[in-house]
Structure 1
Amino acid sequence: MAQRARPRLVDVAQAAGVSIAAASRALSGAAGVSEEIAQRVREVAAELGYVANVHARTLAGGTSTGVGLLVHEIGDPYFTEIASGVLRVAAQRGLTVQIGHTGRDPDAELLQVRSLIANRVRAIVISGSGFVEARVQAPVKRELQDFQAAGGRVAVIGRHHLGTDAVLPDNLAGGRSITEHVLSLGHRRIAFAAGPVALTTVADRLAGAEEALRAAGSRLAELPVIEEAFTRDGGTRATLRILDEHPRTTAVIALNDDMAIGALAALRSRGVAVPREMSVAGFDDVAVAEHLSPALTTVRLPMTGMGEQALLLALKEPSVRPRRRTTGHRLVVRDSTAAPRSS
């Protein structure tokens, strides 16, 4: 027979009809709830057999000064800039930050989450794409739910299936904008250097591209979408494949700037002039993008601000429903895109 699950603080709060924060204050004797509510919460806790633990009270009381940040790849400038935003807010609040690296591996992500919880962090920020299939992150979701029930806080950057507060980059609209720009120059033989489509970031940016293509009388299914690692080396490999397998291509849209930098390297190695022979566009507008040669046309996301917003969300009192903060985007046209040469 399966062992009965131990009641959690979230179970007490739901049964008593109050927030997790109110239930925590009622059980710890803290101010902020009426005696009537406190009594009801205590009675419900007794009925359910709930027993508080020291770790839960430490987290709920806010005495922990550690927060965790998980990123896919700390060497990627996108995550470096997000981390700078998290670190800035943490410094302002007198908090320390533990940074973990997941490599876009859900098993590694689970291990990192467990490690942060074991280190008694107050809050966890997960940065980077979720996975299109919710089941991939189901184990992490359960771990984070227990962490939040014990008084911890979580926020994510990107579209995840974790049921937490989230900062949502403008990926779909940005994908539409960069594709509209390349189409407006006259390109029709476009190829996409994409990360794995199992990632929500890639799926959303491609969905935006699809909207722009359909408006121009085309479809994404008619164009090469080359899946490689969502990294600089992946961008190089994807572009070399485009040159070999789709030699009539006149523009490459890379779905992040790291891949776009790799694309520029691949084209340089083959002696292909950018943008005279091939246009290249990216996504994110990392700090180095304007200093490349040629300077990169891309979509600007407020990455440092995203890191700041995510940690601020994670430090707020929990809400009944997960909060969402959306970002804007801006098309930044530089020297790496131009009209295609006439045949």
Structure 2
Amino acid sequence: MKPNCIDISTWQTEVDFNRVRAAGVTAVIIRAGFSTVKDNRFEQHYSGARAAGLKIGAYWYSYAYSEYESEQEAKACAKILKGKSLDLPVYYDMEENGQMSLGKSALTKIAVSFLDTLKACGLRTGIYSSPSWFTSCLDYDLLRARCSIWLAHWADAHSRACDIWQFGVGKVSGVTGDCDCNLIENMSVISECKENTRGYGLSTVKDVQQWLNQGFGFGIAEDGIYGSQTRRALIKALQTLLNKQYGAKLKVDGVYGACTALAVRNLKNGSHGNTVRALQGFLICRGYDTGGFDGIFGIKTEAAVRDFQVYHGLYCDGIAGSATFGELCG
């Protein structure tokens, strides 16, 4: 079987990408890093592949044991990929044996945390893993609906639907030693080259931060990074709006406690105003597409609410009430 794609990392020390292309390979997926560490040959490999005219994707090896850690891995990945032109998604490589004890639910949440953080950076995403992991450790159906699948199945045929099939290891002209060999089966996974000029942070996250500063005077950093500072500011904005609109008399402290939960009013399709805008802000910062940051609860915002509810195990009705806000604020 002849590969049309290879993946490489620091272990491939010398690569002649022009010879790789002449051998019939059209794409390369390069390890950008692992944990929060940059692969020491990423820049070398990226420059060589780009100069040879190969299509380029990236992957990141996971050592995360919590959603927080996978979010930090994603932030490190996005920072490294800033300014890079990618033709394929960024794949989260999940195969570390030590993670398996966490269980399927926890590992799926770790994966989604990484994916959502990168999506909020304007990057297309995917998951790399094996059939056994997709059976025992990850919710394949949920992930398949959210992102691209790169399947590592070293055999004559593969057992699950995927966009890219890693079928084994072998010799490829231009690569010193062995490398992993792949078939891109779904060619639509390759996009036109688009520069990741936004880098670490979706522009609409900056929109949310600017709204919080201009409308509420919080003075937070407008850096496109959704961290604890922006989250607390969004909660403060929600509390301020509940006080103003409903006389809730909440302490504006950025903590979503019992009093704030009781004061929250249900928001649904057709609602409008700044409380809807606060809801959209939370969703945008978590990587969901609300169809705008305009304070209008329309079809796209409802779809984002439903998607969020399904993932977090909430009752899925498309209505943002205290439980949904509580999960968003957590």
Q: TM-score range by the shorter chain?
A: under 0.3
Higher radius of gyration, 1 or 2: 1
Taking structure 1 as the reference length, the TM-score comes to 0.25
Taking structure 2 as the reference length, the TM-score comes to 0.26
